[in-house]
Structure 1
Amino acid sequence: MTEFGTEAGDLTDFATLLATADTAAPDRDDPGRRRRRRRGGLIALLVVVVVLGAVGGYAGWALNAPLPSPVATVHEPAVPVPAAATVPLPSDGASAISLSGADDYFSAAKTKIDLTSGTTTPLTIASVTKVVTALVVLEAKPLPKVDDHGPTITWSKADRALYDKYYVMGATIAPMPAGSSMSEYDALATMLLPSACNYAEALATWAYGSQWSFVSATRAWLADHGLKHTTIVEPTGLSHENRSTPADLIKLGKLAAANPVVAEIAGTIRLDVPGAGSIGNTNDLLDVDGVTGLKTGNLGYGKFSLLYTADVKVPAAGTVHVVGAVLGGATRESVDDDVTATLDGIRDGFHPVALAKKDQRVGTYTTAWGSSAQLVVSEGASMVTWSDTPISVSMKSTAPKHYADGEVVGELTWKAGPSTETAKLAIDGTIEEPDAWWRLTHPSELG
């Protein structure tokens, strides 16, 4: 019994070992199972490779993808509003001015180029009369060229008597010895520069034969030239009946300025004339503030007059030509002061206007990653304008290529009447590229 039992136990242990062998041994011995294990490993490795490849591909894309362009915010600079010009005219008597030579400036500001003040009633013109006398004499006895001093005039005893006549009257005179002679040019100069009355009457009679014929010719000449409000009854200006208006004198001034002989004589400060000696111009404004002529008049307090021309030099605008007239001035000094103030007002009416400062900001470039730069005016700009001429500004700019400091990307253009000024636009600062971390963490903002 013990021995079966013993044999039976041995059989049970063997069966257990056999069962264990049935579940473990095939892992090492079954080829199908080994293939399945290898396949599973390959799949796992492939997953790892795919995952790592995807991560590497994203990084490569993110680090090299195009960046979004900086956003530009630009604005034109404010347009300055120039101050209106003030051209003062005399408050006493009557006056007028006419401007030319800067017509585009004046029209842009809608400025009247003919200005008047005071009464329009004809006033005494005194020795301004002698400008009419000179032009009427030259009508009968023209000088073809400025350097042609014309025919020789020999003074008679009757001419010499004029010296005594006007001396008694207290008028301005110049020597005129009987039998002496001089050219027509010199005679005209002696009449106009020191304002010699005896020469005015002598020239009028020489050119027309008599005073009556001269006055008749003068009336016709005034009518022919549209001087409807001017009356001349004798050639010297001593008569209070020689009258005109500032508007008519502007016409007369333009005629005189266009006559080369009268213009040259009226612009001479001093001249040596055979027989008359050294003669000086009564116009003490000559060569002051650009005054170039023409003639003074003086019949006492409240009856000072001046017909003048002037060239006012203006930077950028060139020269403004002025023809002006003052009648009924209180004194010679007050007339001179009034004319100087008028010319200064014209000159000051052309004033520089600051348009932009150097490095003035007119825009900004910003990026999603925080780098920025400014758009600035690379140089200061200004222009000369007349009065309150409106100024316009326009801006042209292009997208920067490098967004680098100093890169020129456009320009500003200002216009006012005939004036144009430009200034370059440039970048101030440099747009830096973002770092790798920003690229890797902002995929939605990459191109």
Structure 2
Amino acid sequence: MPESAEGPQDAASEPEDAAGGAAGAEDVRPDAAPADAPADASQPEDTGVHRAEVRRSLLRPLVSDLPAERPAAPPAAPATPAAAPAPGSAPLPPAASPDGADPDAEEPLGPDGTRLMQAPQLLPPGSGHTGSTPLKLLAALTNTPPPEPTLMRSIRRRFKIWTPVVVLLAVVFVIVQAVRPLPAPSLRTATASSYAFPGTALPTTMPWPAEGQSVAEVEGVGSLGVHGAQTPVPIASLTKVMTAYIVLRDHPIKGASQNGPMIPVDKQAAEESGSADESTAHVTEGQQFTERQMLQLLLVPSGNNIARLLARWDAGTQEAFVAKMTATAKQLGMNHTTYTGASGFEETTVSTAVDQLALAREVMKNEAFRSVVALANVTIPGVGTIYNNNNDLVKPGVVGIKTGSSTPAGGALMWAAHKTVGGKQQLILGVVLQQHGGVTVNDSLNTALARSQQLIESVQGGLTSATVVKKGEVVGSVDDGLGGSTPVVAGADLTAPGWPGLRTPVTLTPLPGGLPHSAKAGTAVGTLTIGSGPDATKVPALLQSDLASPSFTSKLTHF
């Protein structure tokens, strides 16, 4: 009976050992159940939880090697001795170690006495030893070694990095170039900056007086020259030109017909009219004359008494009027001129030819003044017919202006003449001072008149005109600032007055308001000018072809 009792017991234990042996043999499988888990025949062998537990059991020995502190493990329960093999049965062969470890080594047991599966040692390929740190093992398990660097791989890598950057910069550049403001167009000239009239220079051939001072110019064209030292000298009755200028400025009358207010002759003017020592106009106290008639009595017979009368009428006293004369001279730039009276009878009234030319240029702008000084004679009711002392007025083209003569001043003349060239009337102005001839004052005046007439005729003979630019000739271009250019042509013949040897400036200027970015052919964009001053000759400058706005390509290539 004991044997029969033991027999079944041994027989029953054999399957258990066999199962244990089989379990030990299956410990080498990566997806095997942990050794410390209780055997449960009903639990699935291959689940996600099961595999996660296997992975954690494989990594647990690696993490345990880290130096970090770990909480103390609870005391293990008493191990249950493993069931001894049945007497007479052969011992089970030791389980083969999957990593080649010693099969006789003692295996750890769990709290329930079952064996724990020992994690295999995972080493990187070719390590050859187990001394690697855990971090290196983790790196070997998780990192993929980079490919071996080559020239082509480096080129491809740089191309992938820089291509987006370059594309972005190109897009930004295109946008900026497309929206940036266009530069302002400019007008460029294609003609010479000046034009020289051919021939021997006229100023070198003119008959300039050998004594005194002299100067001449063509208004709006240029100066013909200055001769003699410009030192202040007595100017005699040339003073009356400033007197007439101030009276007309303070009491203007228009044109050649308006007469202005009535001015009475006072006692002083009437008494001075009988003087034999100076030039006067014969008037009587109580007479009344218009402002125009008073100017005729002042400038035609050169009445000194009328000059002082007009000074008192305008400013109250002659002294107050002289103060006006001095201030006006400074305004006109007559810096070497001194006025001490309204008539010029005082030898302390001095000036230069250049200063007197500046006054002539200004006063000849007044039409009323021009209409008076051009008179060779005039008839005034209550006075009779009076004659101008300027005998040159009978010469062709001579239109004034005023004579002067005295012992200190000699003979003097401020003169004006016309010459029509190129369809336009040109004004010629000149002054001669300190001319002497014969034995009397009248002889000196006649000398001044003769020498002035020689200058007038010389200028009239040399004054000419030239077509500097013909209509349709290219004179410049409009530059759009982006490399585009549109030709500009003269809208009419540019004909300028001048004389041999004269070099006159030629300029091309844009119209006020600036140039357009686009316009049709024939649009005026500027002015072509020859000469200077208000009398300069001007013609319009027109587009030869359509002016187009800059293209998109031009915008992109503009930096």
User: TM exceeds 0.5?
Assistant: yes
The 1:319/1:87 distance shift into structure 2, 3 A limit, reads farther
Match for residue 315 of structure 2 among 208, 211, 227: 208
Q: Does 1:147 align with 2:253?
A: no
> Displacement of 1:129 after TM fit?
0.5
Tell me which amino acid in the other structure corresponds to 2:223: I
Match for residue 435 of structure 2 among 329, 339, 348: 329
Match for residue 296 of structure 1 among 403, 424, 444: 403
Tell me which amino acid in the other structure corresponds to 1:173: T
SS of match in other structure, 2:273: helix
Residue deviations 1:39-89 (CA, integer Å, cap 9, x gap): xxxxxxxxxxxxxxxxxxxxxxxxxxxxxxxxxxxxxxxxxx744432232
After superposition, residues 198-237 of structure 1 pair within 5 angstroms as 198-237=305-344
Greater share of residues in helix: 1
Tell me which amino acid in the other structure corresponds to 1:271: V
In structure 1, what is the equivalent of residue 240 of structure 2?
130
Distance 1:326 1:290 in 2: 18
Match for residue 356 of structure 2 among 249, 253, 276: 249
Match for residue 208 of structure 2 among 62, 71, 89: 89
Distance 1:276 1:223 in 2: 36
Tell me which amino acid in the other structure corresponds to 2:432: V
Match for residue 188 of structure 1 among 284, 290, 295: 295
Greater share of residues in strand: 1
Residues 273 and 281 of structure 2 are in contact (CA less than 8 Å); yes or no, is this contact kept in structure 1? Answer: yes
Structure 2 unaligned spans of 5+: 1-197, 437-443, 467-496, 504-529, 532-559
Distance 2:341 2:405 in 1: 16
The 1:318/1:176 distance shift into structure 2, 3 A limit, reads same
Match for residue 412 of structure 2 among 305, 313, 338: 305
Q: Which structure's relative contact order is higher, taking Cα pairs within 8 Å and 6+ residues apart?
A: 1
Residues 281 and 305 of structure 2 are in contact (CA less than 8 Å); yes or no, is this contact kept in structure 1? Answer: yes
Q: Which shows bigger deviation, 87-96 or 294-303?
A: 294-303
Residue deviations 1:11-44 (CA, integer Å, cap 9, x gap): xxxxxxxxxxxxxxxxxxxxxxxxxxxxxxxxxx
Residues 211 and 228 of structure 2 are in contact (CA less than 8 Å); yes or no, is this contact kept in structure 1? Answer: yes
> Displacement of 1:350 after TM fit?
4.6
SS of match in other structure, 2:263: strand
> Displacement of 1:147 after TM fit?
1.8
Distance 1:240 1:212 in 2: 16
RMSD: 2.8
In structure 2, what is the equivalent of residue 161 of structure 1?
271
In structure 2, what is the equivalent of residue 23 of structure 1?
none
Q: Which shows bigger deviation, 153-162 or 320-329?
A: 153-162
Residues 296 and 307 of structure 1 are in contact (CA less than 8 Å); yes or no, is this contact kept in structure 2? Answer: yes
Rg larger in structure: 2
Distance 2:463 2:332 in 1: 33
Tell me which amino acid in the other structure corresponds to 1:336: L
The 1:238/1:83 distance shift into structure 2, 3 A limit, reads same
Residues 289 and 312 of structure 1 are in contact (CA less than 8 Å); yes or no, is this contact kept in structure 2? Answer: no
> Displacement of 1:301 after TM fit?
7.7
How many residue pairs align between the two structures? 271
SS of match in other structure, 1:286: helix
SS of match in other structure, 2:225: strand
- Normalised TM-score (structure 2): 0.45
Distance 2:360 2:398 in 1: 13
> Displacement of 1:235 after TM fit?
0.8
Identity of aligned residues (%): 27
Residues 299 and 372 of structure 2 are in contact (CA less than 8 Å); yes or no, is this contact kept in structure 1? Answer: yes
Tell me which amino acid in the other structure corresponds to 1:332: L
SS of match in other structure, 1:113: strand
Distance 2:217 2:358 in 1: 9
> Displacement of 1:325 after TM fit?
0.3
In structure 2, what is the equivalent of residue 284 of structure 1?
391
The 1:336/1:155 distance shift into structure 2, 3 A limit, reads closer
Q: Does 1:339 align with 2:452?
A: yes
Residues 353 and 432 of structure 2 are in contact (CA less than 8 Å); yes or no, is this contact kept in structure 1? Answer: yes
Match for residue 386 of structure 1 among 495, 499, 504: 499
Residues 419 and 425 of structure 2 are in contact (CA less than 8 Å); yes or no, is this contact kept in structure 1? Answer: yes
- Normalised TM-score (structure 1): 0.56
After superposition, residues 265-284 of structure 1 pair within 5 angstroms as 265-284=372-391
Structure 1 unaligned spans of 5+: 1-80, 104-111, 354-383, 391-416, 419-447
> Displacement of 1:100 after TM fit?
3.0
Residue deviations 1:300-355 (CA, integer Å, cap 9, x gap): 386110001111345x57543211000001122322222222122223325799xx
